[in-house]
Structure 1
Amino acid sequence: MIRSLTIAVLFIFTETYAQDTIKYTPKDTTAEYDYLTISELQQKIDNILSDSNFINANWGVVIRSLQTGEYLYNKDESKLFVPASNLKLFTTAAGLSLLGSGYRYTTNIYSYGDINYSTLEGDLIIQGTGDPTFSGRFYNGDIFKVFDDWADSLINLGITKIQGNIIGDDDLFDDQGLGEGWSWDYETYWYAAQSSAISFNDNCIDISICYDSKLDSIIIKYSPVVKGIIVINDVVPVSPGSGSTDIDIYRERGTNIITVSGTFSKGSDTLKTYATVLNPTLYAMIVLQDRLEKKGIKVSGYAIDIDDYGRNIDYTKVQYLFSYFSPYLFEIVKVINKGSQNFFAEQLLKTIGHEKKGFGSAENGIIACKEWFSEIGLNPDHIIMTDGSGLSHLNRVTPQQIILLLRHMYSTKIFGAFFNSLPIAGVDGTLLRRMKNTKAENSVRAKTGFISFARSLSGYAFTGDGEPLAFSFIVNNFNVPVKLAENLQDSICVLLSNFKRKSTE
């Protein structure tokens, strides 16, 4: 009978306690396992990594027992590799450790002027702190829920008219929306959305594309529909037999003019895609004004960001109205790691900088993270960190440093929050379709990573004995389809999940 492993983890948030129990039960307890010595296990891994497709590539691999501390496998563990989104492990671990799993963003709303009966005779001020959750992610897909709730709060305060502007104060973060080392041609796409102290809908618009047979044309809809966003339809319908759906989007640099182009098969289902926006704070304020007016609150002024306001806001002279509190950080890091959400990761990095160094910049966030790395025994000189998401090709880490991070988190009270944020093999997140119908399904939790010429997978696995392992697989500089790299990584995970130590060892 295969024994199960239960790890009880307690974590604290907002003066309450939540029991988070992590359980692993092998998928098939009747199947045969691979009883191997460590040297036999190592030989099998060597055979997997010797695949001729990767003769020009570089592999960094570490596998370590969390039960005994023993290294089961090492390959170039101390060399620097481009980690891609495996860097999110460092960002989220630091965020949970430095801010606490129960951390919540607080967005304060103020009036800058007197309230006379139902009229605010002045401006409405939104002071942003970097909250990335003004979207439908936590509200059943309703992207307007947060702003509609703000409108209801104003109405409950008796305010139905604003004789001033809607001002977004994003000065707690810097204005560097894009990460250092990001490719210029990423800018349009959702995975390179700009960071900002005030955001809306991941700083993107949602675009849907479908074929209308009655009109024999392509219909493009987008949301939110607000002033300043222009979407151009340049998509050509093609019959299923003569072409396939191949869509691209492009936002003209320095504008919010977005062109959707390519071909769309008449037999295709509706396609949903996304495009980033320029000036996220202004975008959010325009949407907020639109929602206020739809709720019956008349706004006489304009939606503007703080840079266009022309003066600093004296918060000793404003009137506090209400606050919005985000979901807890342990929920936010699930978005970052399970979906590999770059925008959320960049927001978290700058939040660390704001909370620990007084100002929300990537530079301050990295300084605070590296100080924490040093405290837990990671050599910060072996971690070259330029952003929070891993999208930059300038990032470098060693597989050994990833293992040390994973091992440290395993020993902490916030391990449950960290562990539960990772994709589960064959079940969810970026591992949904990988390792299905193997013993690795539901027993491997790991963060994926991919940018050009880099594919990584690091996390936790459980052997057939229920022994917990930390592993890191990074491959750089390959020139074959990325699926082949995934197959090798998955093969090792399946091997580990089937592995049982021979009783002679």
Structure 2
Amino acid sequence: MRPGAAVRAALSSLILICALSAGGCASLGATSASSAAGDSHRTLAAILDEPGLAGTRWGMMAMTLDGQVLVDIRADDRFSPASNTKIFTTAAAFALLQDPGDPDPMDGTSVRLEARGEGRAPDAVLMGAGDPALGDGPDCVADCLAALADATAARTTRVGDVVGDDRLYPDERRGPGWAWEDMQEGFGTAVSALTVNDNIVVLQVSPVQTAGAPVQAAWRAGDDLLPLVNTAVTVAVGETDLRVERRPGEDVVRLYGQMPTGSDAVALRVGLDDPALTAALRFRRLLEARGVTVEGTVRARHRPLELSDDPTRGDSLPPVDQPDGVEVARLARPPLLASLNRTARFSQNLHAELLLRRLGRLDGTGARAEGLAQVEAVMATAGLERAAFDLYDGSGLSAYNRISPRATTTFLVWTSRQPWGEAWRATLPVAGQAGTLLRRFAGTPLEGRVFAKTGSLNGVNALAGFLTAASGRTVAFSIYANDRPSTADPALEAMDLALLTLAAAH
């Protein structure tokens, strides 16, 4: 979006006035400061009412940490927060779990040998522990599946079946309101207590020299776990436009689209449907590479969702864990802080969902609803009205999620008063410097002065967090753009201009 001339002129004048004053707009006299605030509201209205964004529904709230309201634009309307949902999931983790910088006391992924009868080789069972960091591949240096394979090969030379067991949490691979077309994408991969390599596989694609010929497409080493149909072609001219399709209920991945000759190779991240089964396939390969004979099949064990997983029934209790067989080895989990940083700073959806289920395991079964009950309890402690929000997942992928700008901003102010508030804020993206804000606000007065969570879905943009205003005061804010027509301009530039205006005026 290119802002209108009136918007650019008003914003330039406001920033210039504040820059020339001794301490920003706060150093102006009371009358001038009031005038600047009025100018900022008029400028905000002009920015958000830009004709190129006609049809977009905006909401915005900003307040100082002592509760002074600076901006109130439809602050009590409810909006889709997209990945702003992670604000509440990660803050709940800081509030309810142990210090995330300490070694994680929760059990790590393990392998067990389960007897199958006299003379038969035992099954090798990979027991998922909800660890988001478990890895497989030559670059893995800690929390690696290979270490479990080494320990198994040291114990036995024969196994029956190789089993991926993710029964720590109920089998809820995706949340209510998730778009079916996101299932094939890396950001929409299935959730499982047995997670390896973020539950994705990578397809590497490059053009050939002959126009009309199929592109070269191959799975990354170790990722050849799904059937591939390649119908993408090389073209003489044009832009790279590659897409993948994996239909619901099918494993086959179809690559289609085009790549011009001489273009750079690309890597496409493809989500999985049954991560526990895929983990077992990876584990079988590792065992066989170490000389272990696998006499049986590869399979997964899941725990179906039950009524007892519903916290509203009042009879939700963690299942009694009575694993069979003998434990061969168990990995130590890395500190939770690394996963929290990825969740907030880089908007890692899978890690957010695993975190939600971990919260649900505190007093319940590890179900999604149990985790949401913990998050909602923290939000209630922060003073949020229950009618101001509805959350259905931990990541923000659900189209059903709703929250008001006032509720989000009130929650942010509350976090700033908690003993863990500063550490939590440090996990957020930083304007022009880190995470999903790396390319936003660069070269502006707000570079390095905004700590905020981004969010985006189809027709939705969101940003909420903290900024340092021209006066030096910290301001908590939330701004939402919903229902943006597909023909409208992008909303991010208007959103960023609004925050620059806010910061300059205060």
Please identify, of 161-170 and 393-402, the stretch whose mean Cα deviation from structure 2 is larger: 161-170
| Letter paired with 1:56 | G
**Maintained 8 Å contact 2:178/2:397:** yes
| Letter paired with 1:321 | V
Residue 253 (1) aligns with residue 248 (2): yes
| Letter paired with 1:346 | E
Unpaired runs of 5+ residues, structure 1, are 1-29, 501-505
1:220 corresponds to which of 217, 222, 244: 217
In structure 2, the CA distance between the partners of 1:495 and 1:120, relative to structure 1 (3 Å rule), is farther
2:257 corresponds to which of 237, 262, 271: 262
Once the two structures are superposed, residues 11-50 of structure 1 have per-residue CA deviations (whole angstroms, 9 ceiling, x without a partner) of xxxxxxxxxxxxxxxxxxx964652433343333233223
Give the match for residue 474 of structure 1. 480
Partners of 1:307 and 1:489 lie apart in 2 by 44
| Letter paired with 1:285 | A
Residue 352 (1) aligns with residue 359 (2): yes
- The offset of 1:282, in angstroms, is 0.5
Give the match for residue 134 of structure 2. 134
2:190 corresponds to which of 173, 194, 198: 194
Once the two structures are superposed, residues 224-259 of structure 1 have per-residue CA deviations (whole angstroms, 9 ceiling, x without a partner) of 5467511111110011xx321110100132121101
2:165 corresponds to which of 166, 169, 172: 169
Unpaired runs of 5+ residues, structure 2, are 1-17, 26-32, 304-318
Give the match for residue 339 of structure 1. 346
**Maintained 8 Å contact 1:60/1:75:** yes
| Letter paired with 2:217 | I
In structure 2, the CA distance between the partners of 1:220 and 1:145, relative to structure 1 (3 Å rule), is farther
Give the match for residue 418 of structure 2. 412
Once the two structures are superposed, residues 152-176 of structure 1 have per-residue CA deviations (whole angstroms, 9 ceiling, x without a partner) of 3445xx3252322222221121212
In structure 2, the CA distance between the partners of 1:378 and 1:439, relative to structure 1 (3 Å rule), is same
**Maintained 8 Å contact 1:224/1:287:** no
Partners of 1:394 and 1:52 lie apart in 2 by 28
- The offset of 1:177, in angstroms, is 0.9
**Maintained 8 Å contact 1:209/1:221:** yes
Partners of 1:105 and 1:224 lie apart in 2 by 31
Please identify, of 205-214 and 384-393, the stretch whose mean Cα deviation from structure 2 is larger: 205-214
Partners of 2:185 and 2:106 lie apart in 1 by 26
2:332 corresponds to which of 315, 325, 335: 325
Partners of 1:389 and 1:223 lie apart in 2 by 27
Structure 1-normalised TM-score? 0.83
Give the match for residue 308 of structure 2. none
Q: Matched residue of 2:331: which SS?
A: strand
Give the match for residue 58 of structure 1. 57
| Letter paired with 1:305 | A
CA RMSD of aligned residues (A): 2.9
Q: Matched residue of 1:212: which SS?
A: coil
Residue 294 (1) aligns with residue 289 (2): yes
Once the two structures are superposed, residues 35-83 of structure 1 have per-residue CA deviations (whole angstroms, 9 ceiling, x without a partner) of 24333433332332232233422211011111x3211111111111111
2:147 corresponds to which of 146, 149, 159: 149
Partners of 2:161 and 2:455 lie apart in 1 by 43
1:12-31 maps to which residues of 2 (within 5 A)? none
Give the match for residue 495 of structure 1. 501
Q: Which has the higher strand share?
A: 1
Partners of 2:322 and 2:438 lie apart in 1 by 47
Once the two structures are superposed, residues 429-452 of structure 1 have per-residue CA deviations (whole angstroms, 9 ceiling, x without a partner) of 211111111111111111111111
Give the match for residue 395 of structure 2. 389
Q: Matched residue of 1:248: which SS?
A: strand
Partners of 1:50 and 1:113 lie apart in 2 by 65
1:60-99 maps to which residues of 2 (within 5 A)? 60-66=59-65, 68-99=66-97
**Maintained 8 Å contact 2:431/2:447:** yes
Once the two structures are superposed, residues 103-132 of structure 1 have per-residue CA deviations (whole angstroms, 9 ceiling, x without a partner) of 565224243357xxxx99512222213222
In structure 2, the CA distance between the partners of 1:465 and 1:350, relative to structure 1 (3 Å rule), is same
Once the two structures are superposed, residues 279-321 of structure 1 have per-residue CA deviations (whole angstroms, 9 ceiling, x without a partner) of 111011111111222244443333221259xxx9983653233
Structure 2-normalised TM-score? 0.83
**Maintained 8 Å contact 2:83/2:454:** yes
Once the two structures are superposed, residues 367-400 of structure 1 have per-residue CA deviations (whole angstroms, 9 ceiling, x without a partner) of 2211222122122332111111111111100111
**Maintained 8 Å contact 1:207/1:272:** yes
Q: Matched residue of 2:206: which SS?
A: strand
Give the match for residue 460 of structure 1. 466
Partners of 2:109 and 2:143 lie apart in 1 by 17
Once the two structures are superposed, residues 413-442 of structure 1 have per-residue CA deviations (whole angstroms, 9 ceiling, x without a partner) of 222332122111111221111111111111
Residue 438 (1) aligns with residue 438 (2): no
**Maintained 8 Å contact 2:170/2:302:** no
Give the match for residue 203 of structure 2. 207
**Maintained 8 Å contact 1:206/1:222:** yes
Give the match for residue 227 of structure 2. 230
Q: How many residues are aligned here?
A: 457
| Letter paired with 1:281 | A
Partners of 1:108 and 1:477 lie apart in 2 by 42
Partners of 2:297 and 2:482 lie apart in 1 by 49
